[in-house]
Structure 1
Amino acid sequence: MHILLTRPLEDCSEMILKFKSLGHQVSHLPLLVVEKVNYDSVNFPSFGGIIFTSANAIKFLDLKGIDKKILCFCVGEATEKTARNNGFQNVIAAEGNVENLKELILQNFDKKDGSLIYISGETVSTDLDQQLLKVGYNVKRIVNYRTSHNKNFNEEFVKELKLKMPDIVYVYSQNSAASFLNYIKLQQLESLWMNTNLMCIGEKTSSILNEIKWKKIFLFNPGEEEFLLYKI
């Protein structure tokens, strides 16, 4: 099976090795460039819990001055793994979506236990901090990275792609979907995806790519990528 992965290499290198070990052909098309954003200094001891909705939020955070025993909420398995690898000990993880994460916070963090700090990228699909504020939580959001559309693509890659179109492509965000659609149109690939299964995180992400004719569209949570191979 030919699989196309679209995340930055550091976010999908393990998956590339995994899929190759299973005998699949893997192509890599990084749709987004991730860069650090400077932020004001934070008095972390004044917060009772910390929220991460991506592994990048942890990667670009200055971890000095943070008590790693702080209650740490993560959106999914990949973010949880990054948190634990960086020393966080008291981690609670959702199943890959923000709605589940919100419910976990409501169940496990009492408003009386203090304030929450939410570390995120500049663009988010769900305003988690605003939702928590509406139900009475004290939440401070810090933006420490941003993503932009990758514009540096290898021309040889397009030629190789046309020779053997992927059976599956994984797209992880609305921003990635917009970048992918732009890439498809720029390279005049619109009519070549009818035998490709599109795997998207959430309906909002898949809706951006609805104008392209796919074999099927599946919705998934991070961590389910290998499982999806057996659904098609």
Structure 2
Amino acid sequence: MHILLTRPLEDCSELIIRFKKLGHIVSHMPLLKIEKKNYDDSFLNNSRGIIFTSANAIKFLDIKNIDKNIKCFCVGLQTEKKAKSIGFQNIICAEGNVRNLKELIMQNFETHEGNLVYVSGEIISMDLDLQLINEGYSIKRVVNYQTKHNNNFQEKFVNELKKNIPDIVFIYSQNSALSFLKFIKFNHSETQWMDTNLMCIGEKTSSILNEIKWKKIFLFNPGEEEFLLYKI
């Protein structure tokens, strides 16, 4: 099968290698550019727990003054792997779902234990911090990166993609979905994806691309990509 991956290379390089070993053709088209933002880190030093819903939040985090033994809540396996790589010891991991992450936080961190800090990008799929505040938690959201649409695709790559439309496309965020829709419309390829299976994280992400006619639409969590191949 021909598979199109749309995350930045560092976030999907292992998946590219795995898919190729399975005999699949893999195209890579990063839909978003990730850029660091300056942020106030004063709240980080007094927190008893830290929350990540993206590996990018860890990538752009200044860790020198953070206690690596505090409770570290991660949304999925990739984020957990990144947290481990920079020294966090007490990691509690969900299964790629922010709602599950919220439940894990409530099960493993009492409101009286102290402050939580939620490190994220500008755009998030769910207001996790506000929901936890409503549950009685003291939490501060720190935004340390932003995403921008990537409009710089080589003409040769675009032409080759049009000639060989992928069997599967993986989309990981609402922002990525908006970028992909923009790409499809700019290249006037709306009618070319009827035999493509669209894999999206969450209904909100898939709904953005509903105006394109797909073969099938599947919802998934990060880490389930290889499993999904056997559902096609």
TM-score, structure 2 normalization: 0.99
Distance between the aligned counterparts of 1:180 and 1:3, measured in 2?
15
The equivalent of 2:11 in structure 1 is 11
Q: What do residues 94-127 of structure 1 show as CA deviations (whole Å, max 9, x unaligned)?
A: 0101100000000000011001000000111100
- Give the SS at the match of 1:211: coil
2: distance between equivalents of 1:48 and 1:115? 6
Counting only pairs closer than 5 Å after superposition, residues 45-60 of structure 1 correspond to structure 2 as: 45-60=45-60
Which residue of structure 2 lines up, in the alignment, with residue 149 of structure 1? 149
- Alignment correspondent of 1:63: 63
Kindly state the Cα deviation for residue 10 of structure 1 after the two structures are TM-superposed.
1.0
| Structure 2 residue 41 is the aligned partner of structure 1 residue 41 | yes
Structure 1, unpaired ranges of 5+: none
CA shift for structure 1 position 130: 0.3
2:43 and 2:117 in contact (8 A); partners too: no
SS at match of 2:35: strand
Is contact 2:74-2:94 (8 Å) kept? yes
The equivalent residue for 1:85 is 85
Quick one: which amino acid aligns to residue 159 of structure 2?
K
Describe the SS at the equivalent of 2:143: strand
Displacement of 1:46: 1.4
CA deviations over 1:116-145 (Å, ceiling 9, x no partner): 000000111100000000111000110000
Partner of 2:2: 2
Within 1, Cα distance between the matches of 2:224 and 2:125? Answer: 20
What is the CA-CA distance between 1:41 and the residue it aligns to? 2.9
TM-fit CA distance, 1:83: 0.3
* Distance in 2 of aligned mates of 1:96 and 1:170: 15
CA contact (8 A) 2:4 2:28 kept: yes
- C-alpha separation between the residues in 1 aligned to 2:102 and 2:83? 18
Deviation at 1:43, TM superposition (A): 4.7
The equivalences for 1:1-232 within 5 A come to 1-232=1-232
Amino acid at match of 2:206: S
- TM-aligned CA deviation for residue 44 of structure 1: 3.0
The alignment-based identity, stated in percent, is: 70
Backbone CA RMSD of aligned residues: 0.7
Task: List per-residue Cα deviations over 1:134-191 (Å, max 9, x = no partner).
Answer: 1110001100000010011111111111221101000000000000000000011100
Unmatched 5+ residue regions in structure 2?
none
Q: For 1:153 and 1:144, how far apart are their aligned partners in 2?
A: 26
- How far does the alpha carbon of each residue in 1:64-108 deviate from its partner, in whole angstroms, 9 at most, with x for none? 011111100000010000001111010001010110000000000
* Structure 1 letter corresponding to 2:173: S
